[in-house]
Each structure stands twice: as structure tokens, then as C-alpha cells.
Structure 1
Amino acid sequence: MQFTAESYSNEPVRYPALHAMDLFAEGAAVTERYRNMVLNRVNDSCLRLAVFDETYRWHFHPTSDELFLVVDGCLAIELPGGRELRLKPWQAVTIPAMTHHRTRAIGRTVNLCFEKRGAETVFIDSP
């Protein structure tokens, strides 16, 4: 499965410039097991809020770095070769473009993600 830059570019932005965002309330309002939404745009990048309690598929982004900032819970980011990063609240890491990775929530996890708006996601079976 592959999402195109065009499909990501068409995602609605929840908050335009000059509107305050209540990130705590946005995260608390999510009841689905997985929710990933664009909150705001900054130049050619976007701020996403991801709330989930499961494992996301192996994937990579061909042309965009991706910065994860955990605000609640614990996020494991699996990398090729068995390496794993575990982020707790207010810890962050940047995953460079073309890096194969898979995110896994340890319990319910709320994180912010900064990436190029319209970033393509390419799913793979395993690294």
C-alpha cells in the first residue's frame, strides 16, 4: 500500500494560522484505536497529532524527515537490525527520510509529528 503526496496534501488542516490549538483537548477527545490528523501547517511542513494503542506498519518516507515528540504514554520506534528507540513524554527523535521504521504504542500513546506536508508514505513488508 502506498499513499501519495497528493492524497496527503488534500488532508484538511484543523487549525489555520492565528488560531490557538488545545493539544491536550485534541488528544483527550480521540476515542479510536488509531487517529492521525493534521493540526496545522508551517511553511511546507505540517504538525500532526497521532493517538494510538497499536503497532503501525513498516514504512518509510522517500523525501521527508519525520520528527516524533511524545506528549503522553510511551512510543517505541523500531528500526532495521533490531534497534528500538523508546520515547517517553517530552522526548523526541528525528527519523531521516528513506529510513525504514515502524512505530508501536506501549499502551495508549499521544504524539506530535512534524513532517513535510504531502510527504509520501511507502509501506513495506519488513526491512
Structure 2
Amino acid sequence: MTDVHNVTNALASISDHWQPHRLTSINDYDIKLVKIQGEFVWHTHPDTDELFMVLSGELTIQLRDRDVILGPNDVFVVPRGVEHCPKAAAEVSALLIEPKGTVNTGDAGGEMTAELQEFDA
């Protein structure tokens, strides 16, 4: 594995939506890339915050009391325990920062739960 990771090349290798890929790790956190399109599931992460950074496209993070709309280079942190549901009308590329082992569907589980993918070295 190399020490240098190119975000553009890594995103180009992702073909499926809602399938996070680990770009790298730092301390106890994974830096993940994901392509998003459509609507996810409502869920919470009871024990951790979740950082979203939009790289391209427009992402809406639905919260029970409001919608947060993110464009390229926007960052939003969903606080631990806050129910949320990401959605995107068109494809979005995003970077996520979460503790290692965080499941994408949080406490909801279900068919959209994904195994964390690794990029080929």
C-alpha cells in the first residue's frame, strides 16, 4: 500500500452508490469516500458524530426538524444520536470521517447496510 492517496482516482474506481470505501485511516478514524444517489434510510449513530464533506454535487441531509443542503466543499457534522437521512437527486461524491467500525446504516440496519470496501493498492 502506498502512503499517497489520490481522491480523484479513488472516486473514479467507485461504481456503486451507498458503498463506502476506506481511503485511509488516522488514529481510530476511517476516512471514507462514497458516491450517493437517491435516498438512504433514516438512522442514527448513537455513539458517534458523523462528518460529511461534499466533493461534488448537492447533498441534502434530512433531519427531523430541518434539511441541511451541502454543495461542493461544504462540511456538516451530524451529532451523535441525531436521526438523519441523506439524499441526492443526482450523483454526489462525498468524504466521510467516522470512527473505525461505524456501520453506514447506524442503528437502522437493513438491506442498505454495506461492508466497508477497500481500494486496491
Q: TM-score, normalised by structure 1?
A: 0.78
Q: Which runs of 5+ in 2 are unaligned?
A: 110-121
1:1-127 counterparts in 2 under 5 A? Answer: 19-81=3-65, 83-120=66-103, 121-123=106-108
Q: Secondary structure at the match of 1:98?
A: coil
- Cα root mean square deviation, aligned: 1.6
Distance 1:119 1:32, change over 3 A: closer
Q: Is the 8 A contact 1:73 1:106 kept in 2?
A: no
Q: Is the 8 A contact 2:30 2:97 kept in 1?
A: yes
* TM superposition shift of 1:33: 3.3
Q: Is the 8 A contact 2:10 2:23 kept in 1?
A: no
Answer 1 or 2: which has greater helix percent: 1
Distance in 2, matches of 1:32 and 1:21, equals: 20
Letter in 2 for 1:22: N
* TM superposition shift of 1:36: 1.1
Which deviations, in whole Å up to 9, do the C-alpha atoms of 1:3-23 show, x marking residues without a partner?
A: xxxxxxxxxxxx6xx611111
Which deviations, in whole Å up to 9, do the C-alpha atoms of 1:45-69 show, x marking residues without a partner?
A: 1101010211110011011110100
Letter in 2 for 1:93: F
Which deviations, in whole Å up to 9, do the C-alpha atoms of 1:64-119 show, x marking residues without a partner?
A: 110100001111000013x1001000000111110100000130000000011112
